[in-house]
A and B are shown apart, each in its own frame.
Chain A
């Protein structure tokens, strides 16, 4: 698991203006689902995390925003420009890292970056070179000679080099070692401090927790939750584990508000899973002579997994 970043956001400085606006966006691949009725917005200066398991629709959403996929219905705009109809203008505002960064294998890192800089125009070459140095990329090697992590560094450098208003990054730390992950977090923090926005997809929850202002969770093509990282934590379940001098009974806790489940599988121990205030549960535990009480703080990962529990269908 990735280490936490020192570049974690402090007080958000985002404005209320939206750089990205997605309204009822749907993309289907023939009869297959891509994304369905996705709506969200990203504010100027905001770092927005996009979470979801494989095949949930993260990359489809990102590629639709980049004008690489044509929406089946709905609309996405960046900077007020339509992502499909005004794709060229949109891309002047955006730096993009695809999920699988692939390029002409015979070109060196330096050639790739300069080629893309020429296509983009208005790239500060000194800044581009500084990115290469910060990411410790050897630009003299050919693309085919790079490891996966080094290919990712080329991809990150080309995404950041134009100092775009919005960075769209699909799994940006994939393949990076921890040191370079830290450098990436710093780049994100600098971008945010500049008042520019970042839209990143990730599987690494601590990374999202420590770098993003808000998070969207996508599941089976539908956005199931959008909120601040703090809001998501409010939804968390907590576990209270109480040890007693004798056998514990589930009935002591099962009627309390917010209690989801009680197990007494271990001898003299009750394990209570609950949401919201745990004062009542603590009181009951003390009343029954609890010798030891411990609470577990579920990570964002636990919350995340709640959203991804498989859809249950009734038995026919």
Chain B
């Protein structure tokens, strides 16, 4: 009698699969390394190069001019490498790290719910509170590890600048960054309890983070009421400047950040354990009458007349229009607001910039001596980065739908495969063009309101020049779709965008080779207001975008559709 051959046993899982926290931490490993090493290296380079310009910057700090730049951070002890590094980089780091924190925080539980994995995990004898607490512990450990990389980068950079390094102060600088960005992440966790998708929670938390930064900056410039500043997270972050010996750490501010984190985390856990799995939290239950039943024929007739269901493009646009609208509002409001900042500081800044290369270095090479230059320095230093992030979010639902096998039924309809990604990408094009037009027109509107003269042609160059950036970003997301998970795409593209932006921002300090700089889409975008559109770069970006999209479409038409 023959016997059945023994089947190989399942290989024993590693320690990372023994608990929720370790499994979650495993999921963060690539992001921890990428963000930690990337930001750590940039911090090291900035600190190392800071001694070369800090002296000249320090001379400026003796005047009241620098207060005009407080929008970007408190200009304290600019004449020292520590002060310069703090102003130029440390204040902005929580914002960049916050991008990952917000994305990861939004996916913390909602990602599992969207994938349908939560029911499975909660089907094991583990309490909801424990499940979420372990997820948060993993998230916190990940943040601390990224902070540790940055702290090491800071210590090595200051040592290279021949500055006496206070290890404790450097560690506290890392703590400040970790706590600040953790609050943004905790906000995303909190918001995700009220949204049906992680993307929506990330969008809301990201917008909150941007508004928080703008309000805190505006309050610093205008010396507005402290109670308003006190409502922002960024305010408490700026209260500590640990590596500046004359300023130091503000334990109270760090405590406030810690309490904010704990309150948000506790509230999120409280909501999570009480709400339905897969549903949103409802703070109060209304006693409403049951929804009157609509006759099936009526519902079908209504849907038949719905123009958003006429095709893939229409459906996709209907799905994205709200997101596009809010990004337009954000960029529009910032564009108008930037003009009012420029107007308020017009004379003193123009005077300061006339012969100061150091100031130009502080603002990425922008010459703010003119109205147009000021708008270049304030608005078009940051809006390209915002546009890239927006394009990433406009495009991300394509890889998400591939991941979740939502296209199978659509692809069973008599529709050429190549049309599906192209029609979906057309919505990314619409969104990016809309942002470019708003970025062009918003400062002109602000100028008309504030009686601040701006060159319409230059604003058009700066605004419409954003379009290739967005297209390259969207096409990159499409090219990566199906190859790596959508969450990883957000991390990779967001990380590349942040790295490119920081390279460009720190260009005057880092003195990177031209070929390296040319890899940054922000460098290719350049300064259209002062130097005109970089036509070669623009064409290259459009060609790259077309090539990436073509790769995506060809692959999609030739490869298996996953289920």
Whether A and B are associated in the same complex: the answer reads yes
- List residues of chain A with CB within 8 A of the CB of B283: none
A315 contacts chain B at the CB level, 8 A cutoff: yes
Q: Give 8 CB contacts A-B under 8 Å.
A: A108-B299, A108-B303, A110-B303, A111-B309, A114-B303, A125-B304, A128-B300, A312-B4
Q: Mark B309-321, 1 if CB is under 8 A from A, else 0.
A: 1111001000100
| B32 smallest CB distance to A (angstroms) | 30
Bound CA span A248–B222, Å: 106
Q: Are A139 and B299 in contact (CB under 8 A)?
A: yes
Smallest CB gap from A155: residue in B: B409
**Closest 6 interchain pairs by CB?**
A110-B303, A96-B412, A114-B303, A119-B413, A115-B309, A92-B414
Q: Mark A105-117, 1 if CB is under 8 A from B, else 0.
A: 1101111011110
Near A by CB (< 8 A), chain B positions 265-295 give 278, 293-294
- List residues of chain B with CB within 8 A of the CB of A89: 414
Given contacts A100-B405, A102-B408, A114-B309, contact A314 B2 (CB under 8 A): yes
Query: Which segment of A39-47, A65-73, A214-222, A276-284 sits at the interface?
Result: A65-73
| A201 smallest CB distance to B (angstroms) | 14
Q: Are B563 and A59 in contact (CB under 8 A)?
A: yes
- List residues of chain B with CB within 8 A of the CB of A300: none
A133 contacts chain B at the CB level, 8 A cutoff: yes
* Most chain B CB atoms below 10 A, which of A98, A137, A310: A98
8 Å CB contact of B415 from A66, A99, A119, A128: A119
| A158 smallest CB distance to B (angstroms) | 7
Q: Are B311 and A98 in contact (CB under 8 A)?
A: no
- List residues of chain B with CB within 8 A of the CB of A287: none
Interface size on B, as a range, is 35 or more
Count A interface residues, CB 8 Å: 54
- List residues of chain A with CB within 8 A of the CB of B413: 91, 116, 119-120
- List residues of chain B with CB within 8 A of the CB of A103: 406, 409
A interface, CB within 8 angstroms of B? 59, 63, 66-70, 87-89, 91-92, 94-96, 98-106, 108-111, 113-116, 118-121, 125, 128-129, 132-133, 137-140, 144, 155, 158, 310-315
Given contacts A70-B558, A144-B196, contact A99 B563 (CB under 8 A): yes
| A56 smallest CB distance to B (angstroms) | 16
| B197 smallest CB distance to A (angstroms) | 8
Smallest CB gap from B279: residue in A: A144
| B413 smallest CB distance to A (angstroms) | 4
Bound CA span A311–B6, Å: 11
B516 contacts chain A at the CB level, 8 A cutoff: no
Near A by CB (< 8 A), chain B positions 400-421 give 404-406, 408-417
8 Å CB contact of B300 from A106, A113, A120: A113
Q: Are B300 and A132 in contact (CB under 8 A)?
A: yes
